[in-house]
Structure 1
């Protein structure tokens, strides 16, 4: 049984919809050998990262940066998992009211330092809210879980 950890900050109804979509995609009925754990960044810790086989990160864009909660998560897990979890497959979605590039750069910098490996390029959901964002994040969760289950990642 593989374990996918979803760590996503959801301070609004729309970002909660995204986190739920990620979980729904990762928990697709066709993916049988997968345990999906969903935690807000302030509740997730090094033990969660150590116990997972892949991680899906989610954050809103806050002042051109990741959420403070996701930054706090990285601050708490960085050194405790650095040596043990190199090569951890990861993915990211960003709910960006503007362009999301500052947020993307910040997360990519930390992920590079952790030596995790991107399962795919970060998904940036730009501009005004669109219901299609939910489907895109659900597909991201499905893709990551399916790739993990099949041994691609």
Structure 2
């Protein structure tokens, strides 16, 4: 079972707005009224994972930190079923042809993720591995 220190309940609404582009009308979907707790029409748990710490830090240091909601298949009516603070996870959802809706991350969630990173530490640097001297290079052969 997930620790309460790494999980937060969030509620929100999915709002459709008509959008006309070059004479064609479509619906643009967005997340509205995102708030901690379970008061909205949609409720999901935001789970933080140790393996995503670098992605959380990257998101928090961006100009506008975001949350990403997986909302069913692209083209259909949105049906939110997961939320993340990791762009890497959201990119994987997009690769799987899911609809991903973005929303500004509330300050309370930013502070919570900062506290999580402070408690668990930043992700280790993914530096380059040292090579042995001469490894991977052609060597001159003396005759």
State whether TM-score is above 0.5. no
Structure with a larger share of its residues in strand: 2
Q: Which protein has the larger Cα radius of gyration, Structure 1 or Structure 2? A: 2
Higher relative contact order (CA 8 A, sep 6+): 1
Structure with a larger share of its residues in helix: 1
